[in-house]
Amino acid sequence: MDNTRDLRYFCYLLIRKYGSPDKASEEQKANEFRNHYLRDLAPSVQALRDIAISCGIKLDSSDTMPANLRGFNQVINGTNNIIVKDSDTISGMQNTILHEIREIMESVFPSLCREYKPLKTVAKHYAANKFATAVLLPEESFTEKVYETGFDVIELANSYSKSCSQVLLRIGEVFQKKLFFYAALYEPSLDHGWRVTYCASGRNLEDPEANVYGLDSLFPRKNRGVAPGSLVDMAIKQGKPHFAEKITLLHGNDDVGLAALANPFLIRDVPSKVVLMVLLAPNKRLLSPQVARLNPAVIDGFHLHL
């Protein structure tokens, strides 16, 4: 156990610190991984390749894998091998290497902690996704960047060279218990309609009054289409961001309402996706950096249709 670069040694350190792998969240595992392997290095593809090799893992690339598969790991002659898709994006390769390293860690844990029960396939895949994202988008610096950009998913995706979906889901992880919000990514489907492909939401657990309740049906779930006349519909048809400063929920002066911003991502002036971000109206100031940068169309007297 004297090889500090060995993945088995890293797993041993995790268990020594937390008692059992299941006592450490994926966020904590990712923090320990960055501190142990990356330190001040950026998680570039080359850096991650070097880390994998130093852990005794062989890396190879292939373009023969199915279109919906970005990579996998397998054991050949007692050696772990990670296969990445050769034509994948840089972001995709980063995610694949970290994802597969986390899956390999799961196979190491039982030999170091007898009482640990390995995660089953779906849970392991989910944990590996969370681990990879947490390594690439560290919570503290990512949170600062979210505030700095005014919750601008598209700007964050460009800044980190990540997909809008990964950034949106990461916002969901980081702010899930801190802030009432709803976010959705809309993309064209094969039938030429637009659908919610990813969504995330959160509630303020420290201040129960800083939430609204009973409105789950208002927020579109995955695979829902675009409502005619909605904020997203206007953003798609006009190819321009649209901002509703206060969406009325109830009649009367006590209604706090919501603030929502629909921001289209344009390719040759044609929307290819739209990000919808919804906050409580009193928190609309959090969107100010994004609003100032986008100069969206401001909609007055908007009611319910997001």
Q: How far apart are CA 168 and CA 149, in angstroms?
A: 13
Q: Is 208 helix (H, G, I), strand (E, B) or coil?
A: coil
Confidence class for position 148, pLDDT limits 50, 70, 90 = very high
Of 39-48, 139-148, 205-214, the least confident: 205-214
**C-alpha distance from residue 224 to each of 188, 191, 259, 279 (Å):** 12, 13, 21, 20
Give the model's pLDDT for residue 3.
Answer: 47
The answer on pLDDT for 209 being more than 70 is yes
Convert the pLDDT of each residue in 231-287 to its tens digit: 999 999 999 999 999 887 655 445 668 999 999 999 999 999 999 999 999 999 999
Residue range 217-226: mean pLDDT, rounded: 87
**C-alpha distance from residue 240 to each of 67, 156, 194, 199, 269 (Å):** 33, 19, 16, 21, 9
Convert the pLDDT of each residue in 71-128 to its tens digit: 888 888 888 889 898 888 999 999 999 999 999 999 999 999 999 999 999 999 999 9
Confidence class for position 1, pLDDT limits 50, 70, 90 = very low
Burial of 122 from C-beta contacts in 10 A (0-12 / 13-18 / 19+): exposed
The answer on pLDDT for 131 being more than 70 is yes
How many other C-beta atoms are found inside a 10 Å radius of the C-beta of residue 80?
A: 21
H or E segment and range at residue 122: helix 121-136
The answer on pLDDT for 179 being more than 80 is yes
Please give the DSSP secondary-structure letter assigned to residue 6.
-
Convert the pLDDT of each residue in 15-66 to its tens digit: 999 999 999 999 999 999 999 999 878 899 999 999 999 998 998 888 887 7
Give the model's pLDDT for residue 218.
Answer: 78
* Domains assigned to the chain: 7-136 (1.10.10.2910), 139-303 (3.30.450.130)
Give the model's pLDDT for residue 255.
Answer: 61
Burial of 253 from C-beta contacts in 10 A (0-12 / 13-18 / 19+): exposed
* 147 vs 246: which has the higher pLDDT: 147
| Overall size of the chain counted in residues | 306
Residue range 192-219: mean pLDDT, rounded: 85
Q: How far apart are CA 265 and CA 275, in angstroms?
A: 8
Give the model's pLDDT for residue 5.
Answer: 59
H or E segment and range at residue 294: helix 288-294
Q: Is the Cα torsion angle 268, 187, 83, 64 positive or negative in sign?
A: negative
